[in-house]
Amino acid sequence: MEWSKGQKSFFTKALIHWHETSNERSLPWKEEKDPYKIWLSEIILQQTRAQQGLPYYLRFTEAYPTVKDMAAAKDEAAFRLWQGLGYYNRCKNMLATARYIASELNGKFPDRYEEIIKLKGIGPYTAAAIASFAYGLPHAVVDGNVYRVLSRYFGIDTPFDSTEGKKVFQQLAQELLHKDDSAGYNQAIMDLGATVCTPQQPLCAECPLQKNCIAYKQQLTGILPVRSKKTSVRKRYFHYLLLRANDKIWIRKRPAKDIWENLHEPYLIEADEVLKTDKLIKNKAYTFNNKKGQEPEYEGFLTQRLTHQLIETHFFSLQVGETIKVPVDGGNWVAINELKNYAFPKTVVSFLEKKLYF
């Protein structure tokens, strides 16, 4: 694909001018030069909208103002702060990277793109963002906002999630980069995509690029950008059994290589369908024979949509009288008033809060 120098020059100049005169999007990390805090913001904002991530950023920077503070954090405390943000592997990688920087690099963040991208949990976008925002290095960021702005302005119908598309957008973004102000340019194009060139109902009348925007001229804003892959969604049925022995509840930490790794949960019975009480107690994973013959009490259900999964969770409770041995490794009986010290998946938190366990 070829575009004129004038078309590309106008794009960069108009974008920078808009950023300097009209961009009113205010976020605490935008003026930040500390690579640790920039890295922290970028990790939080992976798969997360800025306004959703903002309170988490503020809580983390207050709890761990430096990378060495984060390196010294207890896993459970960090996961508790992360609770509700999702994609918990980000938190696990974040702790690993902080500890690596603290122990192997004497607490000093790498200042070259080639070294930054080697850190755990950091890909090309995050490495470019840190290199640009912290050190002013000429690396263009390419995220969903950037794909959208570039595809509409230049009329690119190559799917952005294809191998060819990724190459086209990355090369074009690098060409357009303002070499003397890479941080300003990168911030400008992301902010424009977030506030003006939005996915639905873009504010074309307010866009500084409208004059030469192909999508605007040809009424393609509802079509561009193009995605080639359709996301297949797997539906899963979780049945949580809250085992209660007086003032204690049994919980365990979820295992690796599945969603919600390192978070805690009650006793889980997963099935291929929704299990009502009569079917639940016949399931092979249900091994609890209450002395009084009491059946578990159904407490309701919640659903949670993840990127590739839809989790339908049904809750049951059962009074067992004493802290019995539960046939799952890694579990513990925890006092109800101590549950607030553990990190749980969002769905479980919602249920526990509703039932006043927190």
Catalytic residue annotation:
42
Nearest to 34, CA basis, from 121, 117, 107:
107
Six token digits for residue 1: 């694909």
Sign of CA dihedral 145, 147, 153, 159: negative
**Which residues are registered as beta bridge partners of 302?**
313
Which amino acid type is present at position 347? Answer: T
The CA distance from 239 to 241, in Å, is 6
Distances (CA, A) of 64 to 44, 135, 216: 14, 22, 45
The CA distance from 35 to 80, in Å, is 24
- DSSP per residue, 286-340: -----TT-PPPEEEEEEEEE-SSEEEEEEEEEEE-SS-PPPSSTTEEEEEGGGGG
Six token digits for residue 33: 């030069």
The CA distance from 244 to 249, in Å, is 5
